[in-house]
Structure 1
Amino acid sequence: MWDPGKYLDYDDLRARPFHDLIGRIGARAPRRVVDLGCGPGHLTGVLRERWPGAEVEALDSSPEMVAAARAAGVAAEVADVRTWKPRADTDVVVSNAVLQWVPEHRELLRRWVGELPEGAWLAVQMPGNFRAPSHELVRSLAEQPEWADALAGAGLRAEDTVDDPIGYAELLAEAGCAVDAWETTYVQRLTGRDAVLEWISGTALRPVRAALDDEGWSRFRERLAPLLDEAYPPRADGTTWFSFRRVFVVAQCLSENSGPLSSRQGSGFQSLSSPAA
């Protein structure tokens, strides 16, 4: 289960990669725009504002997130990205911080490219921090005897969950796309006690919370908190610097790939922002 309230605790920081992602989509007048993994719907409205003439389709696999999105006025539907198929008029597909939860997402990307109409845009952003202490410490703690049995099948994600930008650039170029891929490390200023623990509680720790009862969850957090504080020392003013790497790829589906997106003539590409390399 997803907790929309916990997820939105850091709404401003979680939204920044989304804006950087869609800023590189060059579609001018798409017929249909799809938000794959819309969460609580707080960013779906940004797609409506960007393309007011488009039909905006929003879906998420979490009933809790879909309920929150509907409460916010988004006509979201419960659906699984693994079985989703684009409609014939789908010109833009956005998947923001979703596919890292789907082990077979590389195959999905290939399939979507084959199903989307020529000229359609596919924009994906995923966390690339699975080698960071925030994740390594969780995996290490989960392997301790106290937790090993309960968390053996929890689905904690490994170091190779997400490829580097070149990996996705190669994958989509081979599928017949023009590709713009990059990565950005955001240095986030978190506030409050156990700041990093609270951040990952809304995302990375979801499998742990789902596998443990309330008492076990409380003990796990108590053991994890000082480890995270050592890896991410709080500053004298109570804030904590948290480096968060993200991987981005924006691709346009073409009948024949003819080079990087940003150098194509007549591709409809329009740079609205310049992400950091």
Structure 2
Amino acid sequence: MTGPPARVDPTYGGSVSDWDPPQYLGFADERSRPFADLIARVPGPASTVVDLGCGAGNLTPILRGRWPEAEVTGIDSSPQMIERARHDDPSTTYLQADIATWRPERPVDVIVSNAALQWVPGHRSLLPELIGRLRDGGRFAFQVPGNFDAPSHAILHELAGREPYAAHTTGIERPDAAGPDVYLDDLTGQGHRVDAWETTYLHVLTGPDPVFECAWSTGARPVLQALPQELRARFGREYRAALREAYPPRPYGTVLPFRRVFVVVERGG
């Protein structure tokens, strides 16, 4: 069980233009379990492994445990995340780059992506290109959230659609992902072997308003970034109160159901 890091400013009146590694890592256990479940289903050895959307690099040990002899490279678009990863893990190569435009110098054995592709607009059309960066028989494994109809997201966007927030939040990009059956159809139809499934985790969170803290560190960021500083604190208070009602605490903690979608692709010839 985990809770939010104590350093979070409850007013949310400052800048939120950049990713905050300490806030993100406050829920590292909930984010690492799906990654471990994904990697366990990737077959075969590998000498080159690339992690697209590596964040702060805290999941690299899972990759090293799975492929101890491999050359591992982490890719992330956030300079704050890359700086943190390089500081904590200087033995690994971490590069700041966009998932959609990154190119390896040569085809690689394994590409993994954990809860990152949902931030790439139209990522389904990008998948063939990502698979094309593998050697023949290489594996591409990714996991994306499948909870965009959950109360945490529904409340966020319903609230953001009200005034005075709507004037600032209309048209902002939302993370999005498909179901496992959609990815299965897409990628099998392109001649690849595909293993696709979904899992709903019941995360037991502790601490005050943990669902709010978890959402603030990831899914709510586009809304917070769009709001001017003078509205951000007010929005945070209203969102916090609504989530507290939607996810009431239980004697042992607050339960956050979280559906995730998994896909492992073996590139066909």
Amino acid at match of 1:218: A
Q: What's the offset of the Cα at 1:163?
A: 0.9
AA of the residue aligned to 1:150: H
Q: Distance in 2 between matches of 1:55 and 1:219?
A: 47
- 1:88 offset after TM fit, Å? 2.6
Do structure 1's residue 190 and structure 2's residue 190 form an aligned pair? no
C-alpha distance in 1, partners of 2:213/2:131? 37
The residue that corresponds to 2:166 in the other structure is 148
Match of 2:54 among 38, 58, 80: 38
Verify: 1:169 aligned to 2:184, yes or no: yes
Classify the secondary structure of the residue corresponding to 1:197.
Answer: helix
Determine if contact 1:208/1:217 at 8 Å carries over to the other structure: no
Whether the 8 Å CA contact 2:165–2:227 is kept in 1: the answer is no
Taking structure 2 as the reference length, the TM-score comes to 0.89
Give 1:92 shift. 0.2
Alpha-carbon separation, structure 1, partners of 2:263 and 2:133? 18
Query: CA–CA distance in 1 between the matches of 2:134 and 2:28?
Result: 31
Query: Normalised by the size of structure 1, how large is the TM-score?
Result: 0.87
Residue in structure 2 matched with residue 110 of structure 1 by the alignment: 128
3-state SS of 2:137 partner: coil
Deviation string, structure 1 residues 40-68 (Cα, Å, up to 9, x no partner): 00111221232122111111000000001
Residue 248 of structure 1 is matched in structure 2 by 262
Query: Does 1:208 find its partner at 2:211?
Result: no
Q: Displacement of 1:229 after TM fit?
A: 1.4
Match in the other structure for 1:53: 69
| 1:93-108 equivalences in 2 (<5 Å) | 93-108=111-126
Distance 1:224 1:68 in 2: 29
One-letter amino acid matched to 2:25: L
1:22, distance to aligned residue in structure 2 (A): 0.3
Instruction: Look up the equivalent residue of 1:11 and give its one-letter code.
Output: A
Alpha-carbon deviation of 1:181? 0.4
2:9 aligned residue:
none
Task: For 2:259, give the aligned amino acid.
Answer: R
Give, as a single letter, the amino acid of the residue that structure 2 aligns with 1:201.
W
RMSD value over aligned CA atoms? 1.3
Distance 1:186 1:144 in 2: 31
Alignment of 1:213-252 (within 5 A): 213-237=228-252, 239-252=253-266
User: In 2, distance between residues paired with 1:71 and 1:189?
Assistant: 30
* Deviation for aligned residue 1:129: 0.3
CA displacement at 1:174 relative to structure 2: 1.3
Q: Deviations over 1:88-138 (max 9, x none)?
A: 340000000000001221111111223422110000000000000000000
Q: What is the aligned length?
A: 250
Equivalent residue of 1:251, what SS? Answer: strand
Percent of aligned pairs sharing the same letter = 47
How many Å separate the matches in 2 of 1:244 and 1:236? 20
Q: Distance in 1 between matches of 2:107 and 2:173?
A: 35
